[in-house]
């Protein structure tokens, strides 16, 4: 009998397993996929670490979390500075003086602020009630129309007026010539990919891949004293109150016989006409010098059973439904729910690690 059956070998489950093992607990970590790592899994193709389930860039302002991950990998000094392509125009992201200068032919922060203020004034929006109003009241109509509206609708499959405002608050807005996508103190990509971090976290745990939780628990209901569940919370309860909504992403990954395809790791296509949201050129995350390159076009779709889950759709309807499931989850005393799917949260990696550490401290006595 194990102390913990950890369902899902992603970042949350692996950090929890590591902490439990450190405290002398016996863990079995299972994953239904044929590999560990969950969505941060990286796989080498043509000598390049390919982010198989979408680009992951580690960033945090929490020194404790930064020190924690650095014990499992060396991080490089990659700084994410995406490019946005809108029709035949090219801009820097996040929204900064380079963006504004290109868009309006201006140079100074005062000129940029004046442009944006004028556009905001013409809109007369009160307290922003949705993503569209939030975006418009932050950056005005030009930036919204060219860099936010089309991308967001493709990404979420919903109109910006039907999406929560917080999604757009992830992106910085600044009046300096600084293309760093994040405001965090620490940032980088683990040299050699993310899978190695997970391998190290799982040392000392038993691991079974290609293993379905429901089959296993059906056969061996007493396999562990407690369960850490990082799968979909609605599935755990047999979708009893109905399905929570998720977005899935499909990737068209291609090896191209050129050493440099797009000159940047991340290029977003922000108009509604281009069917994909972005193209990732993986080698640039690690300053790769390989002769070939690997790119992935990302297509975002509504999740349906059988597909991989990526993003929870944190709107009001799903939020209310999640609370009903959470209430049932809280009433169970031997199951801990964690990660993006177990807590239905649009999480960054540092927050996932922090949550796993908090839960480990709380539950492993
Ligand atoms: N977003 C946008 N234009 C862009 C990039 C992002 O409007 O070029 C918006 C979009 O609504 C997206 C959100 O900002 O869902 C968060 O973007 P982020 O890059 O943080 O998303 P992730 O990398 O998690 O997919």
Q: What is the pLDDT of residues 276-297, one digit of tens each?
A: 999 999 999 999 999 999 999 9
48 in helix, strand or coil? strand
- Residue 171 reports pLDDT greater than 90: no
Given the residues 276, 299, 346, 363, select the one marked as catalytic: 346
Q: Is the pLDDT of residue 299 over 90?
A: yes
Of 198, 213, 196, which Cα lies nearest the Cα of 31?
213
| 340 assigned to active site | no
Gap between the Cα atoms of 243 and 351, Å rounded:
25
State the Cα–Cα distance between residues 78 and 180, nearest whole angstrom.
10
Distance CA 318, CA 357 (A): 27
* 3-state secondary structure (DSSP) of residue 145: helix
**CA–CA gap between residue 20 and residue 270 (Å, rounded):** 43
**Does the annotation count 317 as an active-site position?**
no
CA-to-CA distance for 69 and 340, rounded, in angstroms? Answer: 19
- Mean pLDDT (whole number) for 68-97: 98
Peptide bond before residue 200 is cis, with ω within 30 degrees of 0 = no
Q: What integer best gives the mean pLDDT of the chain? A: 97
- Cα of 92 vs centre of ligand 1, distance in Å, is 14
Tokens at 320, concatenated: 């209310």
For ligand 1, the distance from its centroid to the CA atom of residue 242, given in whole angstroms, is 28
What average pLDDT does range 162-166 have in this prediction?
Answer: 91
Q: Active-site residue 170, yes or no? A: yes
Burial-class residue 191 by CB neighbours within 10 Å (0-12, 13-18, 19+): middle
Q: What is the pLDDT of residue 231?
A: 98
Q: Is the CB of 168 under 6 A from ligand 1?
A: yes
pLDDT at 126 over 90: no
Say yes or no to pLDDT of 355 above 90: yes
169 pocket-lining for ligand 1 (C-beta < 6 Å): no
On the question of pLDDT at 365 being above 90, the answer is: no
What pTM was computed for the model?
Answer: 0.96
């Amino acid at each position: 009998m194990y102390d913990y059956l950890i369902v899902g070998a992603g970042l949350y489950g692996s950090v929890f397993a590591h902490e439990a093992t450190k405290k002398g607990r016996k863990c079995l970590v299972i994953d239904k996929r044929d590999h560990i790592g969950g969505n941060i899994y990286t796989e080498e193709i043509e000598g390049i670490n390919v982010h198989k389930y979408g680009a992951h860039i580690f960033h945090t302002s929490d020194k404790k979390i930064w020190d924690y991950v650095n014990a499992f990998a060396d991080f490089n000094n990659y700084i994410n500075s995406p490019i946005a392509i809108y029709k035949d125009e090219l801009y820097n992201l996040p929204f900064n003086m380079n963006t504004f200068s290109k868009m309006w032919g201006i140079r100074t922060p005062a000129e940029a602020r004046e442009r944006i203020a004028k556009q905001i004034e013409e809109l007369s929006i009160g307290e922003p009630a949705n993503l569209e109003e939030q975006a418009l009241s932050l950056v005005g109509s030009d930036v919204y129309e060219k860099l936010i509206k089309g991308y967001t609708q493709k990404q979420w499959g919903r109109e910006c007026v039907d999406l929560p405002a917080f999604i757009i608050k992830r992106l910085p807005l600044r009046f300096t010539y600084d293309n760093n996508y994040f405001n965090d103190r620490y940032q980088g990509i683990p040299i050699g990919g993310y899978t190695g971090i997970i391998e190290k976290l799982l040392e000392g745990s038993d691991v079974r891949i290609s293993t379905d939780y429901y089959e296993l628990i059906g056969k061996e209901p007493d396999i562990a004293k407690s369960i850490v569940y990082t799968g979909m919370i609605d599935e755990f309860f047999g979708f009893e109150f109905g399905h929570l909504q998720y977005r899935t992403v499909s990737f068209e990954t291609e090896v191209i016989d050129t050493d440099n395809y797009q000159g940047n790791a991340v290029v977003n296509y922000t108009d509604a006409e281009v069917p994909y949201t972005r193209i990732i050129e993986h080698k640039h995350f690690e300053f790769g010098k390989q002769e070939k390159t690997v790119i992935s076009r990302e297509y975002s779709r509504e999740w349906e059973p059988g597909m991989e889950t990526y993003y929870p759709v944190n709107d009001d309807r799903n939020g209310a439904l999640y609370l009903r499931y959470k209430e049932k989850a809280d009433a169970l005393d031997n199951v801990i729910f964690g990660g993006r799917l177990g807590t239905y949260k649009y999480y960054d990696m540092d927050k996932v690690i922090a949550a796993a550490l908090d839960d480990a401290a709380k539950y492993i006595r």
